[in-house]
Every structure is written in structure tokens, then in C-alpha cells.
Amino acid sequence: MHIGARLQLDTSELHDLFYMLFLKDLGCSSNAARICQLYATNDHDFKRNSKTMDHSLGQILHFVATNTAVKSGLATKLKTILNIARNSGSITRDLIETRCERGAEIARTMRFPERVAQGILDLDEHWDGRGHPLGRKETDISLMARIALLAQVIDVFHITGGRQAAINEVHRRAGTWFDPQLVSVFEALARDLSFWAVLEGADIEAQVFALEPAAHRSFVDDDLLDDIADGFAQVVDAKSPFTSGHSKRVALYSDMIAEELGMEANRKRWLVRGALLHDIGKLGISNEILDKAGKLDEEEWQAMRNHPVLGQHILSRIDAFSGIATIAMNHHEKLNGKGYPNGIGADELDLETRIVTVADIFDALSADRPYRAAMPTSKALSIMREEVGTALDVDCFDALATAIGRLENAKETSDDVQAPMQAIG
Ligand SMILES: [Fe+2]
Ligand SMILES: [Fe+2]
């Protein structure tokens, strides 16, 4: 934002830059699973470490050797290294393409201006045309993206090596990765000691929010809140092939249950947002754990059980969504107190949470998974029936069974409803 201000961007450009910087990694979750598969490592560590290299051959080899398959045996490690060595270029291009396109699309879902989407799309393009995914060059690259690319490299080197390391790295990549004009703006900025003091200060969050161009603050109505919930549900669902479409389906089932129970329209709208965002805490869990084929070890299981807490933490920070933070926190609790993370029981579980819990389990059982075909809905319901009363709410379960039964009957008697049936899998 300081670079943007020194370039004398107008307030509308600064507004878009501010949000583009926050949202630049929106599409990141969508290649997290592939990073884990290809490099057999933890996606969080990988992303942190990969920003400190510039892809010269020596660095790639060093990077692969230290990052690949940290926990796996030598054979797996060698196989992964060979695969990366053979396909390095196309793998990098694929990863970046998925990430940028997905991210831009989600920003559009959330109704951010096109300039924000374009910035996300161009984030990995380099000044000399050797970036990805399109190999755009110089000023063909969105200005927002040029600033963001520079800023993220400054940040990573500053955090890991200090002020001078950041300055040196930026200087080294001027004209290859970075727009030389932006580099000189940064070099002037870097002589201002208060710039670094803010970056290293404890109240950086408050300082960052103070940079938001206030004149462009926009009013958020209910439709926009729905779109924002929908956008972040896409981010969550894109993280793992095991949960593709999960949040959207849980929202659909929750809506059906609430409809059956006669819930009032406005309350239902909140419920659907809660259902869309119930697993948002999974963004904080590595794919190495989320996608693990075998049994989780104790440490992994503990991390997994923490996703409701992370979800609650994220949602309660946003005023408009704080009301649904309880759903995120409690969706794995059971009526008999045998759920997680807190083991609370029936008297502390509200109707919204009970509905999402039933919808969540139904989807976990009935959805197609990479490792098995979809279970028939009747079988999923009969497995769930055994837990009704002890773990699951009887009214919510009955409402779901009725709604599903009605849809199945309709499917048998009419071809017209085939589309909605496909939609719910
Ligand atoms: Fe969950
Ligand atoms: Fe879930």
C-alpha cells in the first residue's frame, strides 16, 4: 500500500489494491492437494519455503532435496524427485494456472471489481515474460499483480533474513521478476526507517486496517453476505478432492431440513451461510492430513480435531458472521457428549448446529469419494438411524429422511426432477 501511495494511485485504485493483496491467495487451496501429491510433503511448509527460491536449477535441486517427502522413505523421495525433475516446468505451470484462475473466479463470485480479479490472475507473471501462466510481459501485467509480487517477496525475505536481505533480493530480481520502476520506489521507501518499524511492530494488524481507503467502503447487504459465504465455501471445497462440493451440499441438505421443519426464511438464510462455512477451519489443516489414505496418527488426529476451533476463531472475527461461529465450533459435537472438540451435550447444542451435523454426516456417507463410489441414500440413512437420539437429533434426522424420500419418489415418477437429483448426488 505504501508503494501504491508513492505511485500516486487514486483512491479507487488503492481500494482495489488493498483487497487484491488480502485475496491474492484465494485460489491457493485449490492446488494444495496437488502440491502434497506431487511433492509428498506438507503443503504449508512447501508454500512457505518455495517463496524464498527463484527457480534456478541449483536452487530447485536444493529445494526438492530439503522439502520433498520429509517424512517418507528414501524410495518415495527418489521417485518424487525424478518426477519433479522430468515434469518440473509443466507441473509449475499447472499449479499456478489452477490457482490463479480459481482465485480470480472466486473474487468475482464475491463481487470484487474486475481489477481485483485481474490482479489475482496475473500474480505469478514476471516482468521479463518468464512467469506463469501466460508469460505476460512488462506493463501487460496488471499493476496490482506487479505490486503484490514484489510485496510478497519483500515480506518473505524480510521475515526470514531481515531488512537488508529483502533489499538485496529485490535489487537482484529487478528487471527479471520485478518492474524496475517499482523496485526504485521500494528502494526509496526502504530508506524510511519508520516503514520497517511498522512492519516489525506488534500492532501491524491495526496499522494495516488503517490503510483501507475509507472513502470506498461499501455497504454489505444480505445478498452480498450470501455471495461471500458462497465464495469462501468454494475456497474450502477446492482444498481437497475428498471434500469437493461438500460445503455446498451440506448447505443444500441443511436448507431442505430447515424447510421441512418450517424454519422462518430469514433464520434459514443464516443457517445456510453457517452450513456453507462450517468447515472453514479446514483451511488451517494440511492436505497431508486431510487427504491421508490410511489411519491418522495421534498428532494428525489432534490437528484434525482442531478444525472446528479454527473455524470458530475465523468466523467470530467477522462481525457479520460471528452469529454462525457456533455452528463451526460445534458441528462435530454429539447429543450424548461424545463428540469433539469440547464434548458438550444436548443442552448446549442449538437447532442450527443439529441441522448442520445431520447434513454433514449424510454428505460424508452419501457423496462420491475418490476411493469409493457413492453409497445409496437409503444405506446412508439406515447407518445414521442407529445414532438417532444418542448422537443425532431425531427431528432433524426425520426431516432429512422425509425430504430425501420425497425427492426419490418424485424421481421415480417424473423425469423433470432429474436435474435437482443429480445436483444433490
Ligand atoms: Fe467438519
Ligand atoms: Fe463437514
Domains, the chain, ranges and CATH?
Answer: 2-216 (1.10.3210), 222-413 (1.10.3210.10)
**What 3-state class would DSSP assign to 388?**
strand
- Residue 396 Cα to ligand 2 midpoint, Å, equals 16
DSSP 355-387: HHHHHHHHHHHHS-BTTBPPPPHHHHHHHHHTT
- Residue 365 Cα to ligand 1 midpoint, Å, equals 13
CB under 5 Å of ion ligand 1: residues: 279
The pLDDT of residue 77? 52
The DSSP letter of residue 242 is G
Query: Residue 308: is the preceding peptide bond cis (ω within 30°)?
Result: no
Ligand nearest to the CA of 248: 2
Contact 369, 391 (CB under 8 A): no
Distance (Å, rounded) from C-alpha 312 to C-alpha 289?
A: 20
- Among candidate residues 77, 239, 268, 282, the one labeled active-site is 282
- Residue 311 Cα to ligand 1 midpoint, Å, equals 9
Ligand nearest to the CA of 275: 2
Q: Grid coordinates standing for 245? A: 462440493
- Give the contacts of 363 (CB within 8 A, at least 6 positions apart): 246, 249, 250, 253
User: Per-residue pLDDT for the chain (425 aa), expressed as one digit of tens each?
Assistant: 999 999 999 999 999 999 999 988 887 665 555 555 555 556 666 666 665 555 444 454 455 555 555 555 555 555 555 555 555 555 565 666 677 888 898 999 989 999 999 999 999 899 999 988 889 999 999 999 999 999 999 998 998 899 999 999 999 999 999 999 999 999 999 999 999 999 999 888 888 888 887 666 677 889 999 999 999 998 898 887 677 789 988 998 999 999 999 999 999 999 999 999 999 999 999 888 888 877 889 999 999 999 999 999 999 998 889 889 999 999 999 999 999 999 999 999 999 999 999 999 999 888 876 666 678 888 999 999 999 999 999 999 999 999 888 877 776 665 454 444 444 33
Is residue 282 among the annotated active site residues? yes
- CA 40 and chain centroid, separation: 20
Contact 121, 102 (CB under 8 A): no
**What 3-state class would DSSP assign to 178?**
strand
The DSSP letter of residue 7 is T
Distance (Å, rounded) from C-alpha 185 to C-alpha 197?
A: 18
Ligand nearest to the CA of 331: 1
Distance (Å, rounded) from C-alpha 63 to C-alpha 307?
A: 30
The pLDDT of residue 26? 83
Q: Is 285 left (phi over 0), alpha (psi -120 to 50) or beta?
A: beta
DSSP 296-365: --HHHHHHHHTHHHHHHHHHHTSGGGGGGHHHHHHTT--TTS--SSS---GGG--HHHHHHHHHHHHHHH
Contact 353, 254 (CB under 8 A): no
* Global confidence as pTM: 0.77
Q: Grid coordinates standing for 107? A: 473474487
**What 3-state class would DSSP assign to 174?**
strand
- Residue 331 Cα to ligand 1 midpoint, Å, equals 6
